Structure 1
Amino acid sequence: MDEVTPEVSGGRFPSKAVVGEVVPVTASVWREGHDAIAATLVWQRCADVDHADAEAVATAPVVGDERSARMVSLGKDTDRAAGSLVADAEGLWRFRVDAWSDPWATWRHAVEVKVAAGQGAGELANDLESGARLLDRGAAQIEERTTADEVGHQPATEATTPLEMPPSVTFAAELRAAAASLRETDRPLVERLAKALSEPVQHTMTERPVRDLVTRGADHHVLVERPRALDGAWYEFFPRSTGGWDDEGRPVHGTFATSHSELERAAAMGFDVVYLPPIHPIGTVNRKGPNNTLTPGPDDVGSPWAIGSAEGGHDAVHPQLGTIDDFDAFVARAHELGLEVALDFALQCAPDHPWAATHPEWFTVRPDGTIAYAENPPKKYQDIYPVNFDTDPEGIYAESLRVVLHWLAHGVRVFRVDNPHTKPADFWSWLIAKVHVVDPGVVFLAEAFTRPARLFGLAKAGFSQSYSYFTWRTGRDEIREFFEMHRDRVDECRPNCFVNTPDILHESLQTGGPGMFAIRATLASMLSPSWGVYAGFELFEWQPAKAGSEEYLDSEKYQLRPRDFDRALAEGRSLQPWITRLNEIRRAHPAVRQLRTLRFHDTDNDALLAWSKTDPITGDTVVGVVNLNPFGAEEGTLHLDMAALGLDPFARFGAFDEVSGQVFDWGQANFVRLEPWRDVAHLVSVQKR
């Protein structure tokens, strides 16, 4: 067997999956001659090892029972076989493909061809006996695997009825009877062959095959994480902006306690994860003022990413937010609401971070003796010192692990990592593997807005999810190409599609009006298993700092931004109901949370994008059609690939629109008209007849 998938970088890294996910496995299987060949997929759990150690992964001992399933041929012209595995526990799993000669399929084909050519019982005497011996072998295999447990610890007796017999006994008896029939020389050939060629016997000999010349395949590995590593709806907000206004209309600094209302709102909208920007003390040296100015006033709050001051560093909370006990209460309330808390893990420091004083060797020192601040020319971040991993890697590694484990002890199992592509990939492999030894359920999201090779490299290094280029993909064809690429590489990288971030206000949102906000939310939530929203998106916040900039005017990164979400909702100026409905559809339909089964369908209008997804376990199927024009109605013909929906080419089905509640009678070709001021999309659950 050759070309086994999934395989990442020639087996250097394990492929990715989550508990309960159906993982397709394919292989090229071939042999000499014309005898039939088949393959079996075998998988089992391995002992926990350091996932960053390729040798440890390759030699990890197995701890679980071996499971197997016969693979199916994808066509004799391709020599490809397909199967699927499902892991029911987190950790490292091993799988292989065993190839073998299928003597039963070879015998059946030869007999059918000879009978069709007019050969009689005399000419087929050896064939009939060979078939009988194969059936006897099959029956013996089944009988050997039958244990006393299958008959309630009681041996079968003459009084045992067929209904009381275990299935394996029944199957073995069927094969014995078919073998006996083949040997009945006084009966016509057709009658002698009838049982052997019957569907029940064929089913048994396929599901419990006789295997010759078994060739054991090489081992491959899958790292299985908890489901949150694949799917989830994220909501990002700044706790410090939840304090409202004072009597004079000035923003009041929020706390963990005032943030409880935002937890409740996020839960009501159907989100799974609330993500907080850094909650640590903020530096005072070179603190930034509003709109990234260098002249802050005495009351300006600074950027949360300028981490650390005399009040503490990465393991401390900002005093104005509350105490560590207040944070624990915040996490507990989130859990009560069914939410997880994700923290920002940003390995950078303000000039007055404790590390700058105690470990100056962890930073880059310029020729004049000063520590270099962060730059991304022409941008300057005078309030941030980047960590230099070349100077004391052992010390930096150990301290980073201590910080993550500190927050893990406070109930945080999800981390969004800031700018991971500016740190060594080996560091992330080491850190994530060490954390997973303590808790394999910890999820790491990479803010990897970087070149594709680096993005996918970080995913291979162990990140559960990655930010992606979704923000900058707006046309039909480029959206389709983007998601097909991620679908085809889901074994190594899982996308998390945020519609906006505190750093990124895409031009389409600046100019597309409310319709574009609805469109982008629809695409992210329906096409990606994980998606995210930064607060303010539901209020259609669209103003950039200046023309051509993706920075927000009055960015929340540098100042308090309290918002009256309830008033906007009451006045009809909020996207909150649409976001809520999207998350409701995600929860009701497991198909939406898939990526492997994503298929795009053709439309004759470039402003209409159509797709479908199917959940391979439940059969749940959803079809989506979205209008990419935020300003006007679009119509056209939707041409469905019916095979992708599990339907015959000319079948009809009930299409229940989860948006409008209408039921359409759909088939292969369907007229669609979408008006952005009424229905941005059809999100249809397929009702098969």
Structure 2
Amino acid sequence: MTQSFYSLDPQFHQQPFDGRRRVIIERVSPEIDGGRYPAKRVSGERVTVSADIYGDGADRITALLFYRPAGAVGWCREPMRQTVNDRWEASFTAGEPGVMEYTVEAWIDHFVTWTSGLRKKIDAGQDVSLELLIGAALVDAAAGRADGKDAMRLDELAGVMKSGQTAVAVEAAESSELERLMHRYPDRTHATRYDRVLPLQVDPVVAGFSTWYELFPRSWSEEPGHHGTFRECRRMLPLISRMGFDVLYLPPVHPIGTTKRKGRNNALVAAPGDPGSCWAIGTGDGGHSALHPELGTIDDFREFVRDADTHGLAVAMDIAFQCSPDHPWVKEHPKWFKWRPDGTVQFAENPPKRYEDILPIDFETEEWQELWMELKGVFLFWIDKGVRIFRVDNPHTKGFRFWDWAISDIRREHPDTVFLAEAFTRPKIMSRLARGGFSQSYTYFTWRNSKHDLQEYLVELTTTELKEFMRPNFWPNTPDILHEELQLHGRPMFLIRLVLAATLSSNYGMYGPAYELCENVPVMEGKEEYLDSEKYEIKAWDMDRPGNIRAEITRVNHIRREQPALQQTNNITFVRIDAGEGREHDMLMGYVKRSDDDANVILTVVNLDPHAAHSGWLRFPLEAFDLPHDHRFRVEDLLSERTWEWDGEWNFVSLHPGSMPAHIFKVILQP
């Protein structure tokens, strides 16, 4: 339906009590914490709003959904339709990045109630002359609310209804013209307005669909063993782009402290020439608004960002609000840190782990306002240099209310910014960070490995309230995390986790070189850290090393770009795969994703066992597409480029991990 502007009073959500307002509006969705936090969508995405709406008696109800960009004068409206059990819904399209708002209004519609009763009496053969006079009075009242030609036409139609010529009067009363005019000028005198206007955060499209590649620029010198620069790292941009990535994530690129610098493999004492951890930020050369001098100048960085953009890559920066003991803030703002009785600053620790090269910021400082402004200024500094995407390190160890304020304030001027929360923490804390403004969230995907655990977790993410505000970003590895599954099961497991991350979630990423090359050696048994971790040393990667999975990564990423169904997360349905004798298969997992218009349907099947082939009978849910159980259709495996004709809902699937342990089927349901 065509959108139209509709004028409401400015205090739309404030309505004095009036017992004549007979309609009840409850359980509006989405509504996050009573409207304290916004639901989230990306530009162009449909927003479906639903509510329980009912009134006493059998009178008919009209309900409208109102929406607009926050602060706009006029409202757009969409008629709501009743679905089941007094549930009503309507949709609108999210606009440009920024904040929108929406609410609901409903009233007893006496004209619709009257027309329904009129038709029943006519069908029963009853005299409707009195009913026509009652209806005429309703039309007269509408004429008083109308103006111009509409008012004149309503007067004319009311006159026809009062003419006493029953057939002509009924024709006028039931005309589409009268219905349209009465809908245009409804009697909202006793309308009920929902008691709040609800916010919607509209993010750029990349917040809803993105493919991340992480690398350390310092490892990409043209001369192995030397410290790389942004200029040298530019040669990687075409390769990463061709692989189908659209976000290039850089760990911190700031000066690295020397005090208590960590050595290779997290050694407590650095050897001469060890570069240190880039998360130990700050030296005399500067802090969070400076670049490591060996990487290049600010102009070099700007050029790197521009060059990345020409290759379809958005540069994402890591923001880690912690400091080396050498950071300028330690001397300039000593009250921003906790000082111990021996006169030293409290370093970071997670007993028994000690991070003596890192000082946490004290968010209880009496100078918290100055601190907040400085931290927000870090984001603004890099936004000015062309960066719009930020991965935030451990945001759950900083003040929640700081993030609420900072992200909201930054978005007022820069609504196209995206913030990824790196927080592998307790569920309620991850949820709170997402509600407080983070566009995307790291998740427990890395530690969900069995079929049961994966399906249970995806159901939680996509069917509970989390789906309205928490966008998962699935990472099979990071520089900090080499999961045991990858350590023990080699190349097939890297392929399995690749397909799962890329097809379960619309946002996924990888610590690129290590994943491409299937790096799987831990620093020691039982630890998730990499041996010879790039966090503590400059690496020389041989990207063409035998056994790499670059071709498979590239194929999967291009499938994601070509198939709209894979560009959403919440549209997932798991399917049954039988192992025989009525048993659900433990090692074969299948799931369907579909585009909003059902024009694109993808069925992914993954063998979760990296060591053995498995087969079973998969049931495709034809009934979800209003098709009979014996419908014939075709599936095209986008990975192998093979095609099968399937006969009905049950079909045989078999996967061997020695080749490709997954199918990504494009389902063609109609000839």
How far is 1:434 from its partner?
A: 2.4
Using the TM superposition, name which of 638-647 and 17-26 deviates more.
638-647
- Separation in 2, partners of 1:349, 1:16: 33
TM-score of the superposition, structure 1-length normalised?
0.84
Q: Please give the secondary structure, in 2, of the residue aligned with 1:29.
A: strand
Of 291, 295, 311, which residue of structure 1 is paired with 2:265? Answer: 291
Equivalent in the alignment of 2:213: 235
How far is 1:202 from its partner?
A: 12
Q: Please give the secondary structure, in 2, of the residue aligned with 1:490.
A: helix
1:22 aligns with 2:46: yes
Aligned AA for 2:96? Answer: A
Deviations 1:401-444 (A, max 9, x none): 22221111111111111111111011111221222233111111
Aligned AA for 1:291? Answer: N
How far is 1:5 from its partner?
A: 0.7
Deviations 1:502-558 (A, max 9, x none): 001111111122121111111111121211110210111111111111101111101
Equivalent in the alignment of 1:401: 376
1:331 aligns with 2:305: yes
1:633 aligns with 2:642: no
5 Å matches for 1:89-168?
Answer: 89-103=96-110, 106=113, 110=117, 119-120=124-125, 122-126=126-130
8 Å CA contact 2:632–2:645 kept in 1: the answer is no
How far is 1:227 from its partner?
A: 1.4
8 Å CA contact 1:340–1:414 kept in 2: the answer is yes
How far is 1:373 from its partner?
A: 1.2
Equivalent in the alignment of 1:591: 565
Deviations 1:206-249 (A, max 9, x none): 99796665322232111212112222111000011112554xxx
Equivalent in the alignment of 1:577: 551
How far is 1:311 from its partner?
A: 2.2
Q: Please give the secondary structure, in 1, of the residue aligned with 2:232.
A: coil
- Separation in 2, partners of 1:142, 1:606: 66
Equivalent in the alignment of 1:542: 520
- Separation in 2, partners of 1:494, 1:583: 19
How far is 1:91 from its partner?
A: 1.7
Aligned AA for 2:517? Answer: L
Equivalent in the alignment of 2:494: 517
How far is 1:676 from its partner?
A: 2.3
Closer/same/farther in 2, CA of residues 482 and 220 from structure 1, 3 Å limit: same
Of 436, 439, 444, which residue of structure 1 is paired with 2:411? Answer: 436
Of 64, 81, 85, which residue of structure 2 is paired with 1:40? Answer: 64
- Separation in 2, partners of 1:542, 1:379: 23
Using the TM superposition, name which of 654-663 and 15-24 deviates more.
654-663
Aligned AA for 2:605? Answer: V
Deviations 1:326-346 (A, max 9, x none): 111111110111111111101
How far is 1:102 from its partner?
A: 4.3
Equivalent in the alignment of 1:3: 27
Equivalent in the alignment of 1:154: none
- Separation in 2, partners of 1:596, 1:474: 20
- Separation in 1, partners of 2:284, 2:306: 28
Equivalent in the alignment of 1:301: 275
Equivalent in the alignment of 2:661: 680
5 Å matches for 1:147-546?
Answer: 185=166, 213-218=190-195, 219-243=197-221, 246=224, 251-391=225-365, 392-487=367-462, 488=464, 489-535=466-512, 536-546=514-524
Closer/same/farther in 2, CA of residues 610 and 203 from structure 1, 3 Å limit: farther
Aligned AA for 2:541? Answer: R
Closer/same/farther in 2, CA of residues 142 and 637 from structure 1, 3 Å limit: farther
Equivalent in the alignment of 1:72: 81
Equivalent in the alignment of 1:164: none
- Separation in 2, partners of 1:22, 1:643: 24
8 Å CA contact 2:620–2:650 kept in 1: the answer is yes
Aligned AA for 1:628? Answer: L
How far is 1:73 from its partner?
A: 2.0
- Separation in 2, partners of 1:652, 1:124: 54
- Separation in 2, partners of 1:263, 1:145: 63
How far is 1:666 from its partner?
A: 5.8
Of 568, 577, 602, which residue of structure 1 is paired with 2:576? Answer: 602
Closer/same/farther in 2, CA of residues 496 and 145 from structure 1, 3 Å limit: farther
Closer/same/farther in 2, CA of residues 656 and 220 from structure 1, 3 Å limit: same
How far is 1:106 from its partner?
A: 4.1
- Separation in 2, partners of 1:559, 1:21: 43
Aligned AA for 1:220? Answer: L
Closer/same/farther in 2, CA of residues 597 and 326 from structure 1, 3 Å limit: same
1:83 aligns with 2:107: no
Deviations 1:559-589 (A, max 9, x none): 1122121x23xx4x22112211222122112
8 Å CA contact 1:73–1:80 kept in 2: the answer is yes
1:614 aligns with 2:594: yes
8 Å CA contact 2:607–2:656 kept in 1: the answer is yes
Using the TM superposition, name which of 406-415 and 83-92 deviates more.
83-92
Closer/same/farther in 2, CA of residues 403 and 660 from structure 1, 3 Å limit: same
Using the TM superposition, name which of 364-373 and 1-10 deviates more.
364-373
Q: Please give the secondary structure, in 2, of the residue aligned with 1:308.
A: coil
Alignment length, in residue pairs?
A: 630
Closer/same/farther in 2, CA of residues 124 and 499 from structure 1, 3 Å limit: same
How far is 1:683 from its partner?
A: 2.0
- Separation in 2, partners of 1:31, 1:635: 55
- Separation in 2, partners of 1:67, 1:649: 42
Q: Please give the secondary structure, in 1, of the residue aligned with 2:520.
A: coil
8 Å CA contact 2:48–2:92 kept in 1: the answer is yes
Q: Please give the secondary structure, in 2, of the residue aligned with 1:41.
A: strand
Closer/same/farther in 2, CA of residues 201 and 359 from structure 1, 3 Å limit: same
User: RMSD in angstroms over aligned alpha carbons?
Assistant: 3.2
Closer/same/farther in 2, CA of residues 96 and 367 from structure 1, 3 Å limit: same
How far is 1:591 from its partner?
A: 2.0
- Separation in 2, partners of 1:243, 1:649: 59
- Separation in 1, partners of 2:264, 2:549: 27
Q: Please give the secondary structure, in 1, of the residue aligned with 2:88.
A: strand
How far is 1:627 from its partner?
A: 1.8
Using the TM superposition, name which of 472-481 and 597-606 deviates more.
597-606
- Separation in 1, partners of 2:635, 2:122: 48
Closer/same/farther in 2, CA of residues 195 and 513 from structure 1, 3 Å limit: farther
Q: Please give the secondary structure, in 1, of the residue aligned with 2:34.
A: helix
8 Å CA contact 2:363–2:398 kept in 1: the answer is yes
